[in-house]
Structure 1
Amino acid sequence: MRIQVVHCHPLTDSYDHALFRVIVETLAASGHSVVATDLYREDFHPAMTESERRSYMGNDYDLRAVAAYATTLKQMEGLILCFPHWWFSMPAMLKGWVDRVWGPGIAFTYDSGDAHLRPALHNIKLFGVVTSYGSPWWIVHLFAGNAGYKVLMRGMKPLCARNARSFYLAHYDMDHSTVRSREAFLDKVRATVSRL
């Protein structure tokens, strides 16, 4: 399977970067064709341009500046996002990748009949998320309503193939994590990815 792993963290010595390496290495060891996209190391520019915004509300989106990213996404069969949740949301650079790359003609098309979106990422048959939260589970879910999960699994995943497989793995309470909790989560990620 052709799988893109999109990673977003400024530090290469971070736990999230270690998760990224484990995902990429495990996929490769299982025989998958892997495209490792490290947004910080690639110096991705998250801010939508004026031209992109002006062309966004239709099917003539100006994707010239992100054409390579769009082409990669359309060639994949699977996508795994690896990033930390900051303020209960994805980092700005990853949000910018979504804003700019998951545009009209790439992730969806506008139906001119009633102006709704039609999914266009029929090629993506696997949608996975590996993430971390500084807060414990109960704050993320009960207090904050787990907004990040909803964006990913209710907003983005429906633009993929109708029966796309998915998984969502999260290490909660990173602010109080231990070597044991981090190693256990790494093992969980490795085991999940190895079964793909």
Structure 2
Amino acid sequence: MSTTIIYAHPYDKSFNHAILERVQELLREKGETCKLIDLYRDGFNPVYTKEELALFNKGEALDPLVKQYQEILVNTRRLIFIFPVWWADMPAIVKGYLDKVLLKTFAYVEKPPTGILQGLLDLDEALVISTSTAPTFYLRYFCGNTIGGAMLGHTLKGVGAKRRRWVNCARANKTTDAKRKAFLEGLAKYI
């Protein structure tokens, strides 16, 4: 299976970076190759310019990184996102990735007359692995469930991801090293 990891954390000593290393290790152990999109390292700009937005309805992009990321997605069967949850949501750089890369006519078309999305990507799975300071139940039931609802339930479903899952290391800033280690070990059941 062709896997692409979309990683979004600016600090290489973070727990998110440890998650990235563990996921890569698990994929190697299974003999699976993967592509890494490191949004911060790449210097990805998540903000639309007026020139870019003018091309939105045509499904076109000006940013060469967007085109590079799209070329990677064409051959991807599984997407794995790794990022921290900030203010009960994905970081802006991840939202910008979704906005600018998953373009109309590339990732989806709108089915008339309803406008419901028909996915154009052939994704078997989208997996989101996140960390948060808040408990997962709080994010799901009191903060709008943006990861499970909007990201997985609408956006990634809408572009063609057949199976969608979210695993979160809650209270990552307050938990023990033993629990962090157990979380890393437990990732094997998702990879």
Q: By the TM > 0.5 criterion, same fold?
A: yes
Matched-pair contact (CA < 8 Å) for 2:45–2:93: yes
Measured in 1, the distance between the counterparts of 2:183 and 2:72 equals 29
**CA-CA distance at 1:113 after TM superposition:** 4.8
Where do residues 61-140 of structure 1 align in structure 2 (5 Å cutoff)? Answer: 61-65=59-63, 66-111=66-111, 113-121=113-121, 123-140=122-139
**Structure 2 residue aligned with 1:189:** 187
**Aligned pair count?**
189
> What do you get for the CA RMSD once the two structures are aligned?
1.8
**Structure 1 residue aligned with 2:177:** 179
Measured in 1, the distance between the counterparts of 2:160 and 2:116 equals 17
**CA-CA distance at 1:49 after TM superposition:** 2.3
Measured in 2, the distance between the counterparts of 1:137 and 1:128 equals 16
**CA-CA distance at 1:68 after TM superposition:** 0.8
Q: TM-score, normalised by structure 1?
A: 0.88
Measured in 2, the distance between the counterparts of 1:150 and 1:144 equals 11
Determine helix, strand or coil for the equivalent of 1:110.
strand
Measured in 1, the distance between the counterparts of 2:60 and 2:49 equals 9
**CA-CA distance at 1:37 after TM superposition:** 1.1
**CA-CA distance at 1:160 after TM superposition:** 4.4
Asked if 1:52 corresponds to 2:86, the answer is no
Matched-pair contact (CA < 8 Å) for 2:136–2:170: yes
Q: Which whole-Å deviations, capped at 9, do the CAs of 1:67-112 have from their partners, x for residues lacking one?
A: 1111111221111101110001111111111110011122211346
Amino acid at match of 1:120: L
Matched-pair contact (CA < 8 Å) for 1:4–1:78: yes
Task: Flag the 1:167–1:110 CA change in 2: closer, same or farther, 3 A.
Answer: closer
Measured in 2, the distance between the counterparts of 1:62 and 1:166 equals 27
**CA-CA distance at 1:154 after TM superposition:** 0.7
Determine helix, strand or coil for the equivalent of 1:41.
helix
**Structure 2 residue aligned with 1:154:** 153
Task: Flag the 1:77–1:142 CA change in 2: closer, same or farther, 3 A.
Answer: closer
Measured in 2, the distance between the counterparts of 1:170 and 1:158 equals 19
Please, which runs of 5 or more residues in structure 1 have no aligned partner? none
**CA-CA distance at 1:30 after TM superposition:** 0.8
Determine helix, strand or coil for the equivalent of 2:94.
helix
Identity value in percent: 25
Determine helix, strand or coil for the equivalent of 1:44.
coil
Matched-pair contact (CA < 8 Å) for 2:136–2:168: no
Task: Flag the 1:43–1:78 CA change in 2: closer, same or farther, 3 A.
Answer: same
Q: Which whole-Å deviations, capped at 9, do the CAs of 1:114-154 have from their partners, x for residues lacking one?
A: 54432111x11111111111112342233213222212221
Amino acid at match of 2:81: L
Determine helix, strand or coil for the equivalent of 1:131.
strand
